[in-house]
Amino acid sequence: MTTLEGRHALITGAGRGIGAAIAERLADDGATVTVVGRSIATLKETAARLSSRVRANALVCDVTQPSEIAGVFDAARDAFGPISILVNNAGQAESASFLETTPDLWRRMLDVNLTGTFTCAQAALPDMLAAGGGRIVNVASTAGLRGYPYVAGYAAAKHGVVGLTRSLALEVAKRGITVNAVCPGYTDTDLVRESIARIVAKTGRTEAEALAALEKTNPQGRLVTPAEVADVVAWLCSDAASSITGQSIAVAGGEVM
């Protein structure tokens, strides 16, 4: 018997990259999976791959819209029952110097990365409290553990996710629910490829030079893979991690210690 059989996992931002890798990994462990995001095409592709192994569904939602979150969580329950695992992976990164960070950019970073995590956790928590247990894993970033230049809004939001993780973990510690954060370094995803394109456009470096600059942040000299992040998430969702809560685990080759 696989470790997550009988558990319903909802993953946001699951159409591609880290989110899709997490959905694949939890399905490998037997979880029923609801993948959520803004692009129905990529979500359906992910759900189709999973459906050969487990029950899987794709639902469209913008995590900055509380009314959409409520509707999607209700639809997920109607399809597969109460949610026992929530992975808050939806996120967005935009760069600008501090003085060029507009109020709108600042709000976007907080709305997507922090408030979306808060609202989804509120939507999932009643199911876990009623069941007497559950898992919440928030995908933060090494930017939530240290500072980076030119991403003040993103870093502030991810620091907020770490603080939210710690506070909620303490609040539900006696209820059989664990709450943890996974903090990837630069990972081989579309988001990082977009960052490379911005570096090229703004600095005139070649793509190879821009990639090398990002790889240098990792003492192992490489990008993290989505599968490596997914493996950590899967472990945190398992019974083996029942005593692990309130932690922010860096998956970054030693960048943060």
What residues act catalytically? 154
Q: What is the DSSP letter of 114?
A: I
For residues 93 and 104, what is the distance between their CA atoms, to the nearest angstrom?
A: 13
Residues 6+ apart with CB under 8 A from 206: 200
For residues 114 and 18, what is the distance between their CA atoms, to the nearest angstrom?
A: 17
For residues 23 and 27, what is the distance between their CA atoms, to the nearest angstrom?
A: 6
Helix, strand or coil, per DSSP, at residue 134:
strand
Report yes or no: 200 and 156 within 8 Å, Cβ to Cβ: no
Measured from the Cβ of residue 113, the count of other Cβ atoms closer than 10 Å reads: 30
Helix, strand or coil, per DSSP, at residue 10:
strand
Report yes or no: 136 and 178 within 8 Å, Cβ to Cβ: yes
Report yes or no: 13 and 91 within 8 Å, Cβ to Cβ: yes
3-state secondary structure 98-113: CCCCCHHHHHHHHHHH
- The helix or strand, by DSSP H or E, that contains position 205, with its residue range, turns out to be none
CA neighbours closer than 13 Å in the CB half-sphere of residue 202: 11
